[in-house]
């Protein structure tokens, strides 16, 4: 239920606050006073597209805040799915900066506009007189019927299974298309794979072979350098190691005579140990470095093979060749296992089809049952609104394929005239008849808790007299099931509300501003008298207003 609305810097509204209660409330005021602006601001905070031209002061931001009381846990899953704090007191806030940037908040947590709109659509239904055209939309018709049938949970389950059904259909189509491809393509893939498999490619072998060939091709020079290095260390007349031995002996004697030179001998001995290790490694490398012509030829042939394969498959690196082999292997295996995959997918699709048929049958049964009572209730209300011969029926047409909403296509059929068969709404109902029919339908739907707050924006336009009184009575009844707020110009409707708000323009100051206030009992008599006599408060109009209000005593004013 909408409890409080606060608007700043929006169109003709500089700063406005209004509290709402449950039951049936009306908002009246002269044309242009700001009723549409009030609804525009409410739509803005519920997620409607921002109009950057609405800033009252172009240098300040616009803020609209709406406070709701949540009476059930129906919205909890949406809050949890979006990591929002859930509380029975819910605050939606929307801001629009002079730089045309819009921000949305739910309980002070920033959210996307999509999330705000999803939450807002579950809290308030704003119905303008032009929205009656929705009645001719088959999707809207089915939505209303499902509300009556209370199919929300069942329909959500069906949609999940329908999504899985589509996944399986897509997968089966892919597999069948793959199976129908030219066998020659698979043969070519197998030929390429066989060639790479026979090559017995090994990770890192290309780099290792390059290194081995480089050693073999330069073996003579390498051996010569190794021998020269060994001679310099040990075998020459002036070899390094023998001279270090002499140096070590000299430093040893020097250390006895000059103790502070002892560290120098230790450093020389360390160098001796390191150089002896180097000499050993040089000897070992001499033994290992051998020129093997047969091995070299083998490596060259292997390198030539790998280079030809890389060139053939248009890859620059050896690792790419291994990746290509693995990809070809996966494709060939997938092709060879395709018959098994098709069989498994067909089996899963058959099971999913059976499940969807079962859920669709339950949906159809519940819709069919709801359609009978729905049609009767709407017909009864429509006949009270100057359509004494009205006939409203709901026809369910079976679909030959699954849809996202089940196995039914719904059609709302109507006839306003005696002896005339019912037909599609779009073909037989006038604009005025659509408005009265929509009111009848929303009245029936309101008894099933489909929305906490319903707002009518002049849905009663174009009617008067007894029909207007009937509309007021219907809205009064709707107010017992939900919070109903109606913007109206009809005194017959306004008199039957529990709460009466008056919206007006203030022309004092530099700019015109819109304001709203809750009327007291005596103010309400005057306002309804104005509505009865085209803004002229005559004694007769006052008496008539008092009669209307005495017949429908006020509560909460």
Residues 6+ apart with CB under 8 A from 290: 219
Whether residue 310 contacts residue 316, with contact meaning beta carbons closer than 8 Å, is answered with yes
Three-class HEC string of 287-304? HHCCCCHHHHHHHHHHHH
For residue 539, what are its two tokens? 């004694």
The residue behind tokens 């995959």 is: 341
CA atoms 321, 322, 323, 328: torsion sign: positive
CA atoms in the 13 A half-sphere facing the CB of 84: 26
pLDDT band at 142 (very low <50, low <70, confident <90, very high): very high
pLDDT band at 556 (very low <50, low <70, confident <90, very high): very low
pLDDT band at 140 (very low <50, low <70, confident <90, very high): confident
Nearest C-alpha neighbor of 403 from the set 236, 158, 189, 208: 158
Domains of the chain from N-terminus onward: 2-161+353-518 (3.40.50.300), 186-336 (no CATH), 521-557 (no CATH)
From residue 420, give the alpha-carbon distance in Å to each of 282, 374, 383, 392: 113, 21, 15, 12
* Pairwise pLDDT comparison (462 vs 529), residue with the higher score: 529
Partners of residue 106 on adjacent β-strands: 92, 109
- The overall average pLDDT reported for the chain is 87
Q: Return the pLDDT at 552.
A: 56
Residues 6+ apart with CB under 8 A from 27: 35, 38, 485, 486, 487, 488, 501, 502, 503, 516
Residues 6+ apart with CB under 8 A from 114: 47
Pairing of strands 24-28, 499-506: parallel
Whether residue 352 contacts residue 161, with contact meaning beta carbons closer than 8 Å, is answered with yes
For residue 237, what are its two tokens? 């007349």
Please compute Rg for the chain using Cα positions: 44
For residue 348, what are its two tokens? 């899963």
Distance CA 512, CA 117 (A): 31
Q: What is the pLDDT of residues 422-457, one digit of tens each?
A: 998 878 777 778 888 888 988 998 887 778 999 998
Q: What is the pLDDT of residues 79-109, one digit of tens each?
A: 988 999 888 999 999 999 998 899 999 999 9
Percent of the chain, pLDDT > 90? Answer: 42
Q: Return the pLDDT at 447.
A: 82
pLDDT band at 557 (very low <50, low <70, confident <90, very high): very low
DSSP 131: G
For range 276-302, the mean pLDDT: 80
Q: Return the pLDDT at 413.
A: 93
């Amino acid at each position: 239920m909408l409890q409080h609305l606060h608007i700043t810097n929006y169109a003709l509204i500089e700063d406005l606050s209004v509290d709402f209660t449950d039951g049936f409330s009306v908002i009246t005021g002269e044309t242009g006073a700001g009723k549409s602006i009030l609804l525009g601001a409410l739509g803005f905070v519920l997620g409607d597209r921002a109009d950057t031209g609405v800033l009252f002061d172009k240098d300040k931001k616009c803020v609209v805040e709406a406070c709701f009381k949540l009476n059930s846990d129906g919205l909890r899953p949406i809050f949890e799915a979006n990591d929002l704090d859930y509380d029975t007191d819910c605050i939606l806030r929307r801001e629009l900066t002079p730089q045309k940037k819009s921000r949305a908040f739910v309980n002070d947590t920033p959210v996307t506009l999509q999330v705000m709109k999803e939450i807002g659509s579950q809290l308030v239904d704003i119905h303008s007189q032009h929205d009656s055209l929705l009645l001719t939309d088959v999707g809207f018709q089915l939505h209303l019927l499902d509300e009556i049938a209370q199919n929300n949970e069942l329909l959500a389950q069906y949609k999940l299974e329908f999504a899985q059904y589509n996944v399986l259909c897509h997968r089966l189509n892919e597999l069948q298309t793959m199976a129908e491809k030219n066998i020659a393509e698979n043969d070519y893939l197998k030929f390429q794979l066989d060639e790479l498999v026979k090559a017995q490619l090994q990770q890192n072998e290309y780099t290792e072979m390059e290194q081995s060939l480089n050693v073999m091709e330069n073996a003579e020079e390498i051996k010569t350098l190794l021998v020269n290095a060994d001679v310099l260390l040990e075998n020459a007349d002036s070899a390094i190691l023998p001279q270090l031995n002499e140096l070590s002996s000299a430093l040893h004697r020097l250390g006895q005579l000059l103790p502070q030179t002892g560290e120098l001998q230790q450093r020389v001995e360390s160098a001796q140990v390191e150089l002896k290790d180097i000499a050993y490694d040089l000897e070992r490398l001499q033994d290992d470095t051998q020129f093997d012509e047969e091995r070299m030829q083998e490596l060259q042939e292997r390198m030539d093979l790998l280079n030809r394969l890389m060139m053939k498959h248009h890859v620059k690196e050896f690792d790419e060749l291994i990746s290509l082999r693995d990809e070809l292997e996966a494709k060939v295996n997938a092709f060879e296992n395709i018959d098994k995959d098709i069989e498994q997918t067909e089996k899963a699709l058959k099971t999913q089809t059976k499940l969807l048929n079962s859920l669709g049958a339950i949906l159809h049964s519940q819709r069919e049952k709801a359609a009978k009572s729905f049609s009767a209730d709407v017909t009864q209300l429509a006949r009270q609104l100057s359509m004494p011969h009205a006939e409203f029926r709901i026809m369910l047409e079976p679909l030959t394929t699954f849809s996202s909403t089940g196995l039914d296509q719904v059609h709302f059929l109507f006839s306003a005239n005696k002896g005339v068969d019912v037909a599609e709404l779009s073909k037989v109902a006038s604009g005025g008849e659509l408005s009265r029919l929509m009111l009848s339908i929303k009245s029936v739907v309101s008894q099933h808790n489909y929305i906490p707050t319903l707002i009518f924006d002049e849905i009663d336009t174009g009617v008067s007299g007894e029909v207007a009184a009937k509309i007021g009575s219907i809205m009064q009844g709707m107010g017992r099931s939900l919070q109903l707020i109606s913007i109206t110009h009809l005194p017959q409707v306004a008199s039957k509300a529990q709460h009466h708000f008056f919206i007006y323009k203030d022309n004092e100051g530099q700019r015109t501003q819109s304001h709203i206030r809750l009327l007291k009992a005596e103010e309400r008599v005057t306002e309804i008298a104005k509505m009865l006599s085209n803004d002229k408060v005559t004694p007769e109009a006052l008496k008539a207003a008092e009669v209307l209000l005495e017949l429908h005593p006020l509560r909460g004013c």
